[in-house]
Amino acid sequence: MTVVSPRRTAKPKLPKCPDCAGKGEITETVRVGARKGRATGDKQAALCLTCWGTGDAPTD
* Closest CA relative to residue 26, chosen from 17, 37, 13: 17
Contact by Cβ (8 Å): 25, 53? yes
Min. distance of Cβ 22 from Zn ion in angstroms? 7
Task: Confirm or reject binding of residue 56 to Zn ion (CB under 5 A).
Answer: no
In this chain, which of 33, 43, 47, 51 binds Zn ion, going by CB under 5 A?
51
Task: Confirm or reject binding of residue 19 to Zn ion (CB under 5 A).
Answer: yes
Q: Vertex 35, ends 50 and 29: CA angle to 5°?
A: 45
Site residues (vs Zn ion, CB under 5 A): 17, 19-20, 48, 50-51
